[in-house]
Chains A and B, each alone.
Chain A
């Protein structure tokens, strides 16, 4: 535990204030950590993932003896320490062993504590240099595309989706310059095997046998070309940019439900936002240009026949019928309306 720091200069005070919790958070800073042995492939993977993540990325260039899934080591304490020192809340740990070759572990933090972890094995890899195509500008926001029903049904893939989304594009922004969108990161699963298809969701942690069943995940990156379409919306064409990754799921650790509940807390909506219709759905209410709240009220159809207007001799019920007869030349002399009134 570090001692609490009291800022001595205005500059360090500003730096400390920037680390304080905010209502709308900045993008998560990711730390790329090398394990005891990484190998050339993992080094390249981490380098290029970092290129995509820039400028919110920090590289640890030395090897670290870290095994986040091994509870007997003090790896978790190291992660928490690094998180605090670097103000980072996401870790990508590369480690290759004989048992688990080319392993990448994504670790997400909340409030300086480990929230959840997921490990993937890199099975196929193509770097940026292998695609002789234009690349995106570093620092531009990517679009994210997920494809497969597993991202909605299977807990492992739900976690992976949340993790990768946080990694590539977790920041909440209020506006974006549309011509500045340059690339898309597409995350697709291999076809769902029959064992996962019939809505059976494994509740127990996956055994090694089950892990083989889990389909691979493909990460592809494309640059976007916009063509004229004759309408306001342009026609989109994609050009592979690299890197491209094929991954298989390995070990994981779910978030502690209590910690997750705290992490999912949202700030209270401001009054102006509520009036705009955010949060709870509010029917028949709108704010006009002047900023006034206007409501619409629906009532049943009014019965106008009983409406009492000014009383005049000429409008009396008896006189009304007589005049009708004269004008229409009606043979029976009783209109249905008159009958109703008399009874």
Chain B
């Protein structure tokens, strides 16, 4: 059986899709670019320039299409998409690389302890409503307690105990704590320039009140703002014995605690990730380092007692 006729007919109907050149074309599918490094043929360029340029471009596009159609594809609503490899040819960037964000205190701690970051969903499932609700924000789940219509009041509660207010205050405290931590992180990562600026502001403020008249008769510069001192607050002179006891104990605790000691060496926060004071407090369940040491020595003694002699 002679198939040469059929082959010839097929060849006539479908022209070839392969491109053969002296130097193979450099195809960069990542940038949809093809470079033809063969020298330009002077004769055909001078004879019929437009046709020659078009045939050159056709060959290039044909080989680019050959590599584009052999790429892996993925489905999308608009039809199949060819997944492009990263580009080979390198172009200069328009802007410098983004600077990495400085890690927060928690992020440094988590990295040291090997805690993986978990992304919390914005929505949580509400069993009662049988639908997904916001974790926070409008109709948020965190406002559930303060918005419910009936509240449990502990038996020993004060007369003026307001459970709605208590729940709301607890939430507000969490919010303000978060905000405080955010600001502290910002201040910690502000860099030496910002620190210096704050130092200068402080020095300036103290020099302004360091004259004989405490700055009262000094010449004001243009645009200079009035110094704002610390506003003092006074507790009412009459307080219940319970409250007085509580405030005095608070004051004593403050004087004892390391963080408030005025002459103590400043804790170097940046060097260690771990807050040692807090860690001891946590390990001893709030009883302090001495109790922890005593407990551990007792623990050792107990094991010795049990062991073989």
Task: Please give the distance in Å from A107's CB to the nearest CB on chain B.
Answer: 12
- Shortest beta-carbon contacts, A-B, top 8: A263-B92, A186-B57, A89-B94, A147-B36, A21-B95, A145-B60, A175-B81, A191-B42
The verdict on A230 contacting chain B, using a C-beta distance below 8 Å, is: yes
Question: B61 touching A21 by the CB < 8 A rule?
Answer: no
Interface residues of B in 53-80 (CB under 8 A from A): 53-54, 56-58, 60-62, 64-66, 68-70, 74, 76, 78-80
Interface residues of B in 76-97 (CB under 8 A from A): 76, 78-84, 86-87, 89-97
- Complex contacts, B50 vs chain A, CB 8 Å: 220, 240
The verdict on B291 contacting chain A, using a C-beta distance below 8 Å, is: no
The verdict on B31 contacting chain A, using a C-beta distance below 8 Å, is: yes
Residue of B with least CB distance to A183: B61
Question: A25 touching B94 by the CB < 8 A rule?
Answer: yes
Question: B57 touching A145 by the CB < 8 A rule?
Answer: yes
Task: Please give the distance in Å from A137's CB to the nearest CB on chain B.
Answer: 14
The verdict on B32 contacting chain A, using a C-beta distance below 8 Å, is: yes
The verdict on B41 contacting chain A, using a C-beta distance below 8 Å, is: yes
- Complex contacts, B79 vs chain A, CB 8 Å: 177, 179
Residues of B within 8 A of A (CB): 10, 13-17, 23, 30-42, 45, 49-50, 53-54, 56-58, 60-62, 64-66, 68-70, 74, 76, 78-84, 86-87, 89-98
Instruction: Choose among A110, A151, A179, A236 the residue that contacts B37 (Cβ–Cβ < 8 A).
Output: A151
User: Given A146-B36, A220-B53, A231-B17, does the pair A174, B92 have CB atoms closer than 8 Å?
Assistant: no
Most interface-central of A143, A166, A192, A262 (chain B CB within 10 A): A143
6 contacting pairs across A/B (C-beta < 8 A): A169-B33, A174-B84, A175-B76, A191-B42, A233-B66, A264-B93
The verdict on A53 contacting chain B, using a C-beta distance below 8 Å, is: no
A267→B96 CA distance, assembly (Å):
10
A167→B146 CA distance, assembly (Å):
59
User: Given A233-B17, A233-B65, A235-B14, does the pair A147, B87 have CB atoms closer than 8 Å?
Assistant: no
A173→B82 CA distance, assembly (Å):
11
Interface residues of A in 41-96 (CB under 8 A from B): 89
The verdict on A106 contacting chain B, using a C-beta distance below 8 Å, is: no
- Complex contacts, B54 vs chain A, CB 8 Å: 220, 222, 238, 240
- Complex contacts, B32 vs chain A, CB 8 Å: 141-144, 169, 176, 181
A192→B86 CA distance, assembly (Å):
32
Question: A146 touching B34 by the CB < 8 A rule?
Answer: yes
Question: B69 touching A233 by the CB < 8 A rule?
Answer: yes
Question: B41 touching A235 by the CB < 8 A rule?
Answer: no
User: Given A143-B61, A175-B81, A234-B65, does the pair A218, B53 have CB atoms closer than 8 Å?
Assistant: yes
Most interface-central of B49, B60, B89, B96 (chain A CB within 10 A): B60
- Complex contacts, A238 vs chain B, CB 8 Å: 54, 57-58, 61
